[in-house]
Amino acid sequence: MLRDKTFKVVPVVFSLLLALCFAGCGSSSGDVDDDFIVATTEEQGAREEVLKLLFTETVYNTITKESRTNKACRESNREQLLPEEVWELANGEWYYTYDNLIAGMAKMEDFGTESADENINKLEIAAFLANIAQETGTGVGLDPVYGGPGCFIQEGAGASRDSCVYGGCVNTPGYDTADMCNEAGGYKCPAGDLGWCGRGPHQLSWGVNYLAFGEAMSVESDYKDDPDLLTTHPDIGIAGSVWFWGRAEKSAEFPPDIPFKPSAHNVILGKWTPTEADVTCGRTTANLGVVTNIINGGIECGPGASADGLANAAKRVTFFNNIAALMGVTVPDGFATDCATQQNFAACPSYKPSPSNPTIRCGANWTEANAKCGTYCINDTHCSNGEKCFSGLNKDICPAE
């Protein structure tokens, strides 16, 4: 009887809290291109209470059973970066704690609370957790059911901290091109320098993303200048992944109001509609596969993906289905699918190239492309007759639009 009474009360409490959150949690105006923005301190408190009802500590304890206290879930460079008091702790005991995850989720307006439908909000949280399981979890080896989310913090558990492949190195100008990075040998920054490898639950990568996240948090270039802040401060690292989840990626090749990739948040909330090009690319409906495509499409999606990549995309679906079931989520038909039949956004964009950027055109070679006003392109798929797509071309060769 006590369980029945409790069950009846919870939806009422949730409804009241959600109503308060809509009134004061900065719910978006409905512009599908808006990125997440930081909630005020007051809003964060209200959002935490709602999120705790949607994602309970009981669920957290179940899905992190294999990672929460697992001593293998530690960074290889922890003694270099972290205070001594956490050296012997699993990351789930100080970084990925329940309170830290809730606080990180609450940091950004609208995550897990925008919909008036509790099921949609829980669907979003389950999808977010499933992707954490794949990105930084223990994986199927230790937890084939939930993936043990919240195991590692950095890409390679710290081994990739000095990698220069994600936009160069923090303190060494000139390492901002792939060629120079390669010439350095082993794709590593100079001794003592560091790069923008993946950090946090969803592995925020690339210097441009660290900069954009810092600007969203009103600290400007702090995270780009010191990316380790995402490793040493759980509130920053987790918030960075939530921010990325809500970010619609823009590109210079598209008009400024058109995203190159939608945000995972908008896909799940039903605020993304496939274009004709998306349908041609196999992205026919909003589902978990599109979310995977946004996060790691170049490796896990479509005909260009490796067998391992396709397997990893399938694991995300497995983890999602099991976490969603544990949370009592009703999964919409067709949502729990991978991206095996979808081309990734880079290989097959949602929109035709914009003639507003004529510096990227087709040609038999760079010299020929630079000398003629050929077809505007983003990649080779937009070119015909054996031509390829070249960038950095003289735009003056083309008539003004």
Active site residue ranges: 135
**Lookup: tokens for 170:** 């923090």
Angle at 308 between CA 306 and CA 313, to 5 degrees: 95
Q: Are 167 and 207 in contact (CB under 8 A)?
A: yes
**What is the 3 state secondary structure string of the chain?**
CHHHHHHHHHHHHHHHHHHHHHHHCCCCCCCCCCCCCECCHHHHHHHHHHHHHHCCHHHHHHHCCCCCCCCCCCCCCHHHHCCHHHCCCCHHHCCCCHHHHHHHHHHECCCCCCCCCHHHHHHHHHHHHHHHHHHHCCCCCCCCCCCCCCCCCEHHHHCCCCECCCCCECCCCCCCCHHHHHHCCCCECCCCCCECCCECCCCECCHHHHHHHHHHCCCCCHHHHCCCHHHHCHHHHHHHHHHHHCCCECCCCCCCCCCCECCHHHHHCCCCCCCHHHHHCCCCCCCHHHHHHHHHHHHHCCCCCCHHHHHHHHHHHHHHHHHHHHHCCCCCCCCCCCCCCCCCCCCCCCCCCCCCCCCCEEECCHHHHHHCCCCECCCHHHCCCCCEEECCCCHHHCCCC
The DSSP bridge partners found for residue 204 are: 199
Q: Which residues contact 62 (CB under 8 A, 6 or more apart)?
A: 146, 326
Please list, residue by residue across 269-281, b when 16 or more beta carbons sit within 10 angstroms of its beta carbon and e when fewer do: bebbebeeebeeb
